[in-house]
Amino acid sequence: SGIDSTFGAALWGDDYVDPYFRDGLAVSASTPIGSITTTVTAVWEEQKAARLVSGTIGSAEPRPVRPIRGGTDPHLDVELGRHFGSALAAVWSVSFNSQLASGGDFGYTRWALSFDATPPDPDAVWQWEAAGAVALATGTLPEQRLILLGGRSTVPGYGFRPWGGDQAAYALAAISREILAPWLRGRILGSFGWTEITIVSRDAAERFGVTHSGGLRPSVGAGLAMFWDVIRLDVARGLDDGQWEWIFSVKPAWRAPL
C-alpha cells in the first residue's frame, strides 16, 4: 500500500517497488462471458528509467533504483477471471493473464495463472487465506518485464525481489485464530517461491541485477492482525539462506507481483 511504501522509503530506504516512468494511452473493454469476466486492454506507451532524487530521514542508505532499457512498448493485455463460491472454508478466484508485445522496441509475451482464497466469514474464529501464481514468458524480455519474486508479498524472509527470470511460481498461505474479537488475531504464515532464467531473460536479468532462485525457497512466520484485520504485524524467516524480516502492512497485505 502507499502508506507502507512512504514510511519504508522515508525511514529505511526501501519503498518496495522498482519504479520507472511511463507515458502513453490505454483503451480497455470488459464483458462477462458466462461465469468468466474477460478484459482486453490495448496499450501504447513510452518507457524510460527513473532515478533516485531523495534520501531517507535517518542514516539508512536508500535502495538503488534499478535501471531499465527505455523505448516504446505497444502491447495487448488479456485477462480472464472467475470467482467461485465458498469451498474448503474459503472464497476462491482464479485469473489468467497474458501480455503480448510486438511492433515497438521490444518483442515478448508473458503468461500468468494466479489464484487467491479469502475467508468467507470475517467474524469466524478460525480463518485461512492463500495466494499464488505460475508464470512464463517468451521472446526477449526487457528489464521492466522480468518476473520478480522475493520478500514481502511473495516469499517473505528474503531480500526484496532478489530473484527474477522468465519462469516463476510462488504460493503463500496464512492461518489465523481470533484472540480478542475484533481487536486481535494470531497468524501463522508459510510460503515458497521459485524462478528460472533462460535465454528469454538472461541479458535483462544481468543488467537488472537479479538471479534465479537456485531451487525452491521456503519461508515461515507468525504475526498479529489488529483492528478488524486492518493492521498486520508479521515476522518471517527464510529457511534457505534467508533472513529475519519484520513486516508492517495495511490490508491487503499481499498483492499480485506477477
Q: Are 185 and 49 in contact (CB under 8 A)?
A: no
- 202 pLDDT higher than 70: yes
pLDDT above 70 covers a percentage of the chain that reads: 97
- 1 pLDDT higher than 70: no
Retrieve residue 20's grid coordinates: 520507472
- 201 pLDDT higher than 80: yes
- 12 pLDDT higher than 90: no
Q: Of residues 89 and 257, which shows the higher confidence score?
A: 89
User: Grid coordinates 533462460 are at which residue?
Assistant: 198
**pTM across the whole model:** 0.88
**CB-based contacts of 95: which residues, under 8 Å, 6+ apart?**
79, 80, 81, 82, 112, 113, 114, 115
- Count Cα neighbours of 161 within 13 Å in the Cβ-side half-sphere: 22
pLDDT above 90 covers a percentage of the chain that reads: 73
- 193 pLDDT higher than 50: yes
Q: Are 103 and 64 in contact (CB under 8 A)?
A: no
pLDDT score for 256: 47
